[in-house]
């Protein structure tokens, strides 16, 4: 979530947008092509099972060298295929151990294997590439990709920045397990997702080996390189690794230390924490937002507690249950924001209903949060618009008002369980809410998710 939208009341960017649908009432979610926002990202000819990537990084020069092993399975016969890679120089590609022809296209490595791959066949691609990975500027003008910091670098990838350093099938519909090795000069920390398997000296450098054995969308891959002290801990039996930039330790301690309490609370309402590791990374980077990188969110500033609640809620909603397509972003941001409201309510703060009512009553001049409707952001630049968060959370609160707290929480918990480690679509959520509440909620969801203006 962004620094600005954190409290949900603060002044936010005005998203002036006229959707093509105008004010026309539409009966259901508008028909969309399968991935309208990033049609160039990803490849449907195969699915990736595992990425094993070894990075070497020199903070001084910003030079990256990479060896990326991609284990995939063809979903159709492949005489050629592509991986997403934004910039960098590819020096070799092999497929199933045989040298392959390759060329570059905009944001792609196009590969022609020596032997075509049959439909259903498992195959392994090994790529080597190097260079200075770049920052990526998003449609909403925020920064992602590989971001250099004074003491290292931060890599964050929502929605498409991961291709700045990882040759991958860069679409959330294709989740895979990850092993990420990062070799950096001794004394520098190198953090990623999942569990730290080992830290090995290699000459005067250190190789950090991280493993995320639970399927992960590429945009949730994390690399953080820089100064600090890695703190290992435990929440019950769950191992945690946390790195806080020394400059932010004092300011972020209280919020970061409440992670155990936050995870316990969210497990209680949403079911078992989905991953085998947890933790946090706080780094000084001028990114203006935090990101729910799987198992270990990254905060590009000293977070407050509600921000930690938000990113932790994403572990269930976004990371474990992932988007099939980006226009479904409400399933991530609406859910994480509503969790902030509910957490506050249950911990002596304002009730979510009073937050809702205050927002709902606002005069039109102060309601930059209605459009675009959360279920139909319309364009990539609106993915993280204020309405995605605020109207998105209000939608769940309105649903709570309609079906009751008990039913709302059962729907959310069932959603997290049924789609665990997989994907969900807004239409599936609506169907589940209908079924579990025994009510006819289509009109309600249509008004709240898809219709422009105040519902
Ligand atoms: N998903 C992040 C959150 O927790 C926000 C990411 C924003 N990314 C961007 N490129 N604007 O809300
Ligand atoms: Zn979020």
Over residues 345-387, the pLDDT tens digits come to: 999 999 999 999 999 999 989 999 999 999 999 999 999 999 9
Q: Which of 340, 384, 387, 390 to mutate to test the pocket of ligand 1 (most atoms within 8 A of CB)?
A: 384
Decide if 316 contacts 333 (C-beta within 8 A). no
Contact 413, 269 (CB under 8 A): yes
Residue 237 pLDDT > 90: yes
Across 425-450, average pLDDT:
98
pLDDT (tens digit per residue) in 37-66: 999 999 999 999 999 999 999 999 999 999
Share of the chain above pLDDT 70, in %: 93
Measured distance CA(82)–CA(216) in Å, rounded = 20
Q: What is the pLDDT of residue 302?
A: 97
Mean of the pLDDT values across residues 258-278?
98
Short-list 192, 175, 137, CA closest to 159: 137
Please choose, from the candidates 160, 121, 154, the residue with its C-alpha nearest in 3D space to the C-alpha of residue 138.
Answer: 160
The predicted model gives 188-192 an average pLDDT of: 98
Q: Whose CA is nearest to atom 3 of ligand 1?
A: 1
Number of the ligand closest to the Cα of 330: 2
CA 341 to chain centre: 20
* pLDDT greater at residue 286 or residue 147: 147
On the question of pLDDT at 251 being above 80, the answer is yes
Taking CA atoms only, the protein residue closest to ligand 1 atom 11 is 142
Q: Which of 289, 308, 388 to mutate to test the pocket of ligand 1 (most atoms within 8 A of CB)?
A: 289
Ligand nearest to the CA of 381: 1
For residue 233, pLDDT over 70 is answered with yes
Instruction: Using DSSP, state whether 58 is helix, strand or coil.
Output: strand
| Cα 52 to ligand 2 centroid, rounded to whole Å | 27
Tell how far the Cα of 316 is from the centroid of ligand 1, in angstroms.
Answer: 16
Residue 325 structure tokens: 């397509």
pLDDT for the residue numbered 6: 46
Report which bound ligand comes closest to the CA of 290. Answer: 1
pLDDT-based confidence at residue 34 (cuts at 50, 70, 90) = confident
The per-residue pLDDT for 67 is 99
The sheet with strand 298-299 has its strands ordered as: 229-235, 238-244, 278-282, 298-299, 290-291
Q: Percent of the chain, pLDDT > 90?
A: 91
Environment class of 135 (CB within 10 Å of its CB; exposed 0-12, middle 13-18, buried 19+): middle
Q: Yes or no: say if 192 and 154 are a contact pair by the CB < 8 Å rule.
A: no
Ligand in nearest proximity to the CA of 289: 1
pLDDT classification of 137: cutoffs 50, 70, 90: very high
pLDDT at 349: 98
Centre of ligand 2 to C-alpha 396, Å, is 15
| Model pLDDT, residue 17 | 28
Encoded tokens for 447: 């008004």
Protein residues whose CB sits closer than 6 Å to any atom of ligand 1: 1, 138, 140, 142, 144, 158, 289-292, 310-311, 333, 384
Mean pLDDT over the full length of the chain? 93
Residue 191 has pLDDT above 80, yes or no: yes
User: Which residues have CB under 8 Å from 75's CB, separation 6+?
Assistant: 44, 45, 46, 47, 119, 120
Which of 437, 318, 338, 317 has its CA nearest to residue 391? 338
- Separation CA 327–CA 37 (nearest Å): 7
Distance 260 CA to ligand 2 centre (A): 19
Long-range contacts made by residues 247-253, C-beta under 8 angstroms, separation at least 24?
247/284, 248/282, 248/283, 248/284, 248/301, 248/302, 251/302, 252/282, 252/299, 252/302, 252/303
Q: Does residue 159 have a cis peptide bond before it, meaning omega lies within 30 degrees of 0?
A: yes
Q: Please determine, for residue 20, whether its predicted confidence score (pLDDT) is greater than 50.
A: no
Which comes out higher in pLDDT, residue 291 or 11? Answer: 291
Q: Which residue has the higher pLDDT, 81 or 14?
A: 81
pLDDT confidence of residue 68: 99
Q: Say how many Å lie between the CA of residue 167 and the centre of ligand 2.
A: 25
Atom of ligand 1 nearest to the CA of 311: 4
Of 6-10, 348-352, 429-433, the least confident: 6-10
pLDDT at 32 over 90: no
Q: What are the pLDDT digits (tens) for 101-116?
A: 999 999 999 999 999 9
pLDDT value at 24 more than 90: no
Take atom 8 of ligand 1 and give the residue whose Cα is closest. 158
Report the pLDDT averaged over residues 150-175. Answer: 98
Q: Whose CA is nearest to atom 12 of ligand 1?
A: 1
Q: Is the pLDDT of residue 9 over 50?
A: no
- Read out DSSP for 412-448? HHHHHHHTTTSEE-HHHHHHHHHHHHTS--HHHHIII
Residue 30's pLDDT is what?
40
DSSP letter at 118 equals P
């Amino acid at each position: 979530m962004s620094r600005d939208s954190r409290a949900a009341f603060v002044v936010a960017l005005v998203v002036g947008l006229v959707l093509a649908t105008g004010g026309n009432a539409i009966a259901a979610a508008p028909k969309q092509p399968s991935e309208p926002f990033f049609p160039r990202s990803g490849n449907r000819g195969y699915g990736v099972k595992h990425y094993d990537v070894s990075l070497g990084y020199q903070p001084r020069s910003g030079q990256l060298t990479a060896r990326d092993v991609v284990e995939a399975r063809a979903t159709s016969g492949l005489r050629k295929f592509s991986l997403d890679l934004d910039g960098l120089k590819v020096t070799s590609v092999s497929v199933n151990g045989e040298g392959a022809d390759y060329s570059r296209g905009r944001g792609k490595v196009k590969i022609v294997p020596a032997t075509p791959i049959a439909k259903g066949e498992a195959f392994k691609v090994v790529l080597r590439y190097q260079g200075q990975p770049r920052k990526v500027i998003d449609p909403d003008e925020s920064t992602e990709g590989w971001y250099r910091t004074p003491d290292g670098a931060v890599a964050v990838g929502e929605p498409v920045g991961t291709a700045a350093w990882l040759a991958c099938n860069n679409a959330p519909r294709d989740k895979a397990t990850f092993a990420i090795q990062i070799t950096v000069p001794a004394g520098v920390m190198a953090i990623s997702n999942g569990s730290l398997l080992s830290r090995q000296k290699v000459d005067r450098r250190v190789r950090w080996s991280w493993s995320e054995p639970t399927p992960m969308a590429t945009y949730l891959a994390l690399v953080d390189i820089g100064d600090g002290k890695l703190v290992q801990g435990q929440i019950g039996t769950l191992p945690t690794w946390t790195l806080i930039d020394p400059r932010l330790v004092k300011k972020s301690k209280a919020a970061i230390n409440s992670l155990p309490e936050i995870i316990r609370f969210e497990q209680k309402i949403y079911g078992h924490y989905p991953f085998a590791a947890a933790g946090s990374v706080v780094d000084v980077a001028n990114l203006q937002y935090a990101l729910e990188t799987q198992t270990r969110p990254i905060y590009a500033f000293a977070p407050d507690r509600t921000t930690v609640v938000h990113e932790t809620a994403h572990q269930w909603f976004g990371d474990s249950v992932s988007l099939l397509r980006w226009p479904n972003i409400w399933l991530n941001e609406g859910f994480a924001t509503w969790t902030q409201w509910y957490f506050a309510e249950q911990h002596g703060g304002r009730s979510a209903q009073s937050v809702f009512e205050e927002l709902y009553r606002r005069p039109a001049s102060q309601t930059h949060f209605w459009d675009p409707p959360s279920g139909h952001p319309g364009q990539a630049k609106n993915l993280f618009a204020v309405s995605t968060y605020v109207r998105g959370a209000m939608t769940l609160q309105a649903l709570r008002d309609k079906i009751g707290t008990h039913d709302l929480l059962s729907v959310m918990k069932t959603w997290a369980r049924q789609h665990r480690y997989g994907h969900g679509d807004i239409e599936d959520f609506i169907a589940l809410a209908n079924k579990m509440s025994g009510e006819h909620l289509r009109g309600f969801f249509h008004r709240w998710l898809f219709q422009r203006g105040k519902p």
